[in-house]
Amino acid sequence: MSEKNLAWAASMKGECSASPALLEAIIEWAPVAIIVSDAEGLICLCNREAQAAFGYARAEMLGHCIDMLVPPAQRPSHRLARSRFLEHPAMRRMGEGRALSARRKDGSTFPMEVALQPLAGPHGPLVVSMVVDVSERERLLGELRRAATGLEEQVQQRTADLQRVNRDNLALLDALRAKSASLERLSREDPLTGLANRRDFGERLESEILRADSLGLPLSVALFDIDHFKQINDRHGHAAGDLVLRASGTLLRRKCRATDTAARFGGEEFAVIMPDAELCAAARLCEHIRLAFAAFSWASLRQGVAVTLSAGVAQHEAGAPSRAVLAAADAKLYAAKHGGRNRVAWRDDEGEVRPAPETNS
């Protein structure tokens, strides 16, 4: 079989439709070592790069088993791999992710990568092996790994030194960051109720309006006012008034949706931004809040205290500024206050302020 394949290799130029000189040049002057072996592993073709890489003359390679190019310890596994390849021949790349070694004539070895290509010969299957010496790449990778290890050790040492020297400074920096975060939170939070303050409310309203306009979604805003709050302060004192405001903030947080923003708008006035809520749905939510205020046991805070809530609800009109929806909600709140208090005003039908729609929930 080997002699026939050797003869085939010698006559291959004449059988190829390409220029014989071109074919010979492609194989002979390819920048990688090319070795063709038969099913028994006998070499029937090799180019000049293969001779240079392994240190053999062409005559010393032709007709000999390709195992001669593999270190003795790896030959059994190489034969097994070659057998499996012939059972399922397909182009494949070897050497990536694991070390493959080649053996030169002088017994020295070098790391290699091999691409295998099955080829149908006239007298049986052939295997084209393209071998690349990756010694230089492995050397450079080794140097890079050593340099990286050394650099990592230096960085770790320097980091440890800095941590020891600057431990107190780092603790101070953490304290300053925590203080800064606390101040930022306080600058956006009403200290009495824990709700957003008017500044934060204004920024969030602008952001929600931009989102609603860009996505074509509804957005509603409600303004709330505690009825007769001045009388509570006058009769029960400002401490009682603060208790009412604090409890009002808690009730609003509990009754609003997770996506809503509840804020203390000023004094006894509160505001809620309701994203994705059309006017009717927003009015229902406000009615829930009004009922919760009416049902709350205010006397548990201070004997004789009773609290009701009035609300005005408006829906943002696309393209309108934030002041427009606030003005509309304020007008509805005014209507609710002058329409009897303890109610939600959300629309006008022929001048009459109507309460929020009933709900079973």
Instruction: Provide Rg for the chain, Cα atoms.
Output: 43
338: which residues sit within 8 A by CB, 6+ positions away? none
Rounded-to-integer distance, Cα 12 and Cα 120, Å: 13
For the chain, the domain total comes to: 3
Same domain, 87 and 204: no
Residue that terminates a domain, selected from 133, 168, 202: 133
Whether 184 is catalytic: no
Catalytic residue among 49, 208, 268, 287: 268
3-state secondary structure of 16: coil
Q: Are 356 and 336 in contact (CB under 8 A)?
A: no
Query: What is the per-residue pLDDT across 223-278, written as a single tens digit (0 to 9) for each?
Result: 999 999 999 999 999 999 999 999 999 999 999 999 999 999 999 999 999 999 99
Query: What is the per-residue pLDDT across 42-52, written as a single tens digit (0 to 9) for each?
Result: 999 999 999 99
Residue 45 tokens, joined? 């073709």
For residue 207, what is the DSSP state?
Answer: H
Same domain, 147 and 215: no
Q: Are 96 and 40 in contact (CB under 8 A)?
A: no
Pick the residue with more confidence: 109 or 3? 109
Residue 361 lies in a domain: no
For residue 189, what is the DSSP state?
Answer: B
Q: What is the pTM of this model?
A: 0.50
Same domain, 117 and 145: no
Q: Are 208 and 273 in contact (CB under 8 A)?
A: yes
Rounded-to-integer distance, Cα 18 and Cα 5, Å: 20
Which domain covers residue 229, as residue numbers? 191-353
